Structure 1
């Protein structure tokens, strides 16, 4: 039984009911069909001829239905998530002084939602995050993973089935190279991908400022394949950019024909810096006088990060990449340019910590040619 006191002011003395005009309660619905997930469900009402000091009393035949609150226009019922494999039924009775008969509401709830996943994302930095995967069905095997959202743009994959088939194909090829079945591979691969029950994964070495998609789906192995046993569930994680150092570069340029002599003074910055030269028909060129946007900064950072990461995947260390592609101290660079284009010189500080992929660490400085 649940009840809540709500005083509704009427024209009669407190507690007095006009027998010729008794209170009448009208609801927007008298039958609630609720899914297995439950939730807080409002019943919108209108009350005519209220009794001064009158209070609603809300009763339920089942404990999984309770009263959350009563407002001036709603009676809010809390429906617990179902843990039953069958539909269930409850009858709610709403009483009010002088109102006869009481109003009844039928609550029908579907069986438990076994296909549902939820995610808790925490400890988000510019290069890492922690994800807790929480399936409602604690006994079903499921995939627990994360992917850079750029994958969907670059691959063109947008359909759920196409994504799973592409992912499975990659794992199957890896299994075949190691003379294993797909199920054997999934049982041995590190980091672990297939779980039952709640799981927690820590993701590191992520791209600063990038958008990632955390996802899960139930699976069932069949031969050298697996099939979806639930729809894909996902959530988006936006990584921040690293904190930027207060670094500014003094850039000067002298032209001799089509050769640009570019001098760069990093001031007090003693670390590495990257130099990008963007022609006026490129993605990274910004018209003079236009303020650089966050997305443009992230795009520059992403271009640098991707280049460094690919080099390191090919066997180079972070220091080797920085020495080969970046600069320190005062430098003068001679660059051949096309005579019919405008150019933008972009310089920003970069840094690698503990041998990790180098990242942008200052706002870019610009010079136009």
Structure 2
């Protein structure tokens, strides 16, 4: 066992009460000696007082490690002793006083010193992507934090002391608090702290990274967070398999963007990868530069992440993964790549140990090649704009041939002046193309009224333009007063944790909210588009209805119901607008205040069924 950082330790909570000689019967306290372990904790003494006159006595302690003295219950004084983080025992005297008497009975609080080695941590199982750790405290009453972090991540944060490590943990926990939940409540309900002997498992690890599992005892009360033991740790080193030298005969021929490959392994009868890296991608190494061991690890790690996802999340076997991603034996194949780019081809062997996640098992063999120009096309286009509304339009694009093309809708004011080539360069450099072919139709919504747009259309193949740029313009209509409106809204709450148990897809939302709210709206007449959202109720005092209306028009929900994330106990309102058949929106709808608590939720299965298409 090694220590990552040396800090303080403690012994388990043990409270023993020792009576000494009796106090005088008028005003007395028992026991007169209270003993606690270094962990501290809550303790009580009883007092006797013949006449209180309705006023309880006060208890005074002149040390900072005795806190939360409570005299609210008649006949009892309660108090809390903080952990002793020193190597020496300590004691203090608490004095009772009451206005009805000059007697001042006392009792002594004794606390033991802290000891070392109150936690042990040991790796019990490890493979490429998983690590199981056994944690054993000396006391089952000890609360402790057990976390895993990348060593490089801790280094980047500049964490070098226990204080910095604990502060980083504390800050990460505090930022996750919602809805008035205390830190203690959050850590316990989220199972971020433990007690007793436990087995912890971390999954989805990278075999190319070094990790540290660290554990420390914790004093936790409300929002007080204090490390009270040494920080114990174990290292998880890199676990990549050794990469052997495997030779491949590879012939790569490029004609324009069309590239043919012929690969034959030498002395390798398993699967192998042919990975292509473009000159503008991360990981591309200029020809003539060395392919370092660090670059080898990056390739191995990137492949592992893909294979690991297929293995665990798509539940594919190692054989299925290697067959899907790689090749075996001598192969010939063709690919269409982006025109006018340089490429690095990496060929390397992959294998699986005992059916586990496939890994890279050879050093990548590196080859370089370049693609050329695409052929020009004489394709032209016919574009029709129908049903132009204040916020929407229907577009139909008809090309003169079945060749591929793309179309981009932009604000007319953003299109620069200049010739068509300059405008084409502008469009291609700023907008991600959507590759199309044949007749294309789309209903485009969420447009601002009375605004001119340009639809830029051009032939597109292998990331290059094959025609000149064609420009088509339209202007959305002026806005007007609509006749449609939202008439009512119905909402149901579904506990987030319960939903996650049934559908792990939503796991990423844990910690950000307490529950899903499902919102269904009704309108006075059929609506082609709805604009609604849920807000904290204080938005009604912070913003005007005009501002809320403008915000809603930035969002277009074409269907109801829809869902949002919320916090228990908070008050919300649903605000919304409905379009009529002409695209005009009517009056703003504002619901009555909505509040859900934990006991108000509906069956989580309903939510999963209602939004199953969202997941799929």
**TM-score bin, normalised by smaller chain:** 0.5 to 0.7
Which residue of structure 1 aligns with residue 462 of structure 2? Answer: none
Match of 1:271 in 2: 270
Instruction: Write the distance in 2 (CA, Å) between the matches of 1:214 and 1:253.
Output: 46
Match of 1:86 among 65, 86, 89: 89
Superposed displacement of residue 134, structure 1:
7.4
RCO higher in structure (CA 8 A, sep ≥6): 1
Report which stretch shifted further, 313-322 or 339-348: 313-322
Is 1:241 paired with 2:258?
no
Confirm or deny: 8 A CA contact 1:347 1:366 kept in the other structure: yes
Q: Which residue of 1 aligns with 2:383?
A: none
In structure 2, do the counterparts of structure 1 residues 349 and 163 end up closer, same or farther at CA, with 3 Å as the change threshold? farther
Corresponding residue number in structure 2 for 1:334:
334
> Distance between the aligned counterparts of 2:230 and 2:299, measured in 1?
32
Q: CA deviation at 1:323?
A: 2.4
CA 1:204–1:315: 2 relative to 1, 3 Å: closer
Distance 1:247 1:171 in 2: 53
C-alpha contact (below 8 Å) 2:350/2:360 kept by paired residues: yes
Q: Which residue in 2 is equivalent to 1:212?
A: 211
Does the 8 Å contact 1:301/1:359 carry over to 2? Answer: yes
What is the distance in 2 between the residues matched to 1:313 and 1:245? 27
Q: Give the 3-state SS of the residue equivalent to 2:250 in structure 1.
A: strand
Please give the alpha-carbon distance, in whole angstroms, between the structure 2 residues aligned to 1:164 and 1:299.
32
List per-residue Cα deviations over 1:164-194 (Å, max 9, x = no partner): 564698899xxxxxxx98647749xxxxx73
Distance between the aligned counterparts of 2:87 and 2:168, measured in 1? 33
Cα separation, partners in 2 of 1:315 and 1:274, compared to 1, 3 Å: same
Determine if contact 1:220/1:227 at 8 Å carries over to the other structure: yes
- Range with greater deviation from structure 2 (271-280 or 206-215): 206-215
Distance 1:247 1:195, change over 3 A: farther
Question: Paired residue for 2:227, among 229, 241, 244?
Answer: 229
Question: Structure 2 vs 1, CA of residues 150 and 324 (structure 1 numbering), >3 Å: closer, same or farther?
Answer: farther
SS of the residue corresponding to residue 249 of structure 1 reads strand
Q: 1:168 to 1:340 in 2, by over 3 A?
A: same
Give the secondary structure class of the aligned counterpart of 1:217. strand
Provide the rounded CA distance (Å) in 2 between the counterparts of 1:161 and 1:83. 20
Q: Are 2:246 and 2:268, in contact at CA under 8 Å, matched by a contact in 1?
A: yes
1:361 aligns with 2:373: no
- Structure with the greater alpha carbon radius of gyration: 2
CA drift at 1:362: 1.0
The TM-score normalised by the length of structure 1 is 0.53
Q: Distance in 1 between matches of 2:316 and 2:289?
A: 37
Match of 1:143 among 142, 145, 162: 145
Q: CA RMSD in A?
A: 4.7
TM-score (norm 2): 0.34
Listed as ranges, the matches of 1:1-369 within 5 Å are 84-86=87-89, 112=114, 140-149=142-151, 160-164=166-170, 166=172, 183=188, 186=191, 194-196=194-196, 206-220=205-219, 227-230=225-228, 233=231, 234=233, 236-318=235-317, 319-369=319-369
Question: What is the SS of the residue equivalent to 2:145?
Answer: strand
Whole-angstrom distance in 2 between the partners of 1:215 and 1:250: 48
CA spacing shift, 1:338–1:185, aligned 2, 3 Å:
closer
Count matched residues. 256
Cα distance change on mapping 1:167 and 1:273 into 2, 3 Å: farther
Q: Secondary structure at the match of 2:266?
A: coil
- Residue 26 of structure 1 aligns with which residue? none
Paired residues of 2:257 and 2:340 also in contact (CA < 8 A) = no
304 and 152 in structure 1: CA distance in 2 versus 1, 3 angstrom threshold: farther
Partner of 1:67: none
1:82-128 CA distances to partner (integer Å, 9 max, x unpaired)? 995339xxxxxxxxxxxxxxxxxxxxxxx646698676669877666
On the 8 A contact 1:114/1:136 being kept in 2, the answer is no
Contact conserved, 1:129 with 1:203, CA < 8 A, in 2?
A: yes
CA distance in 1, matches of 2:175, 2:358: 32
Name the SS of the counterpart of 2:247 in structure 1.
Answer: coil
Q: Which moved further from structure 2: 203-212 or 253-262?
A: 203-212
Cα distance in 2 for partners of 1:358, 1:211 equals: 20
* Distance in structure 2 (CA, Å) of the matches to 1:154 and 1:255: 43
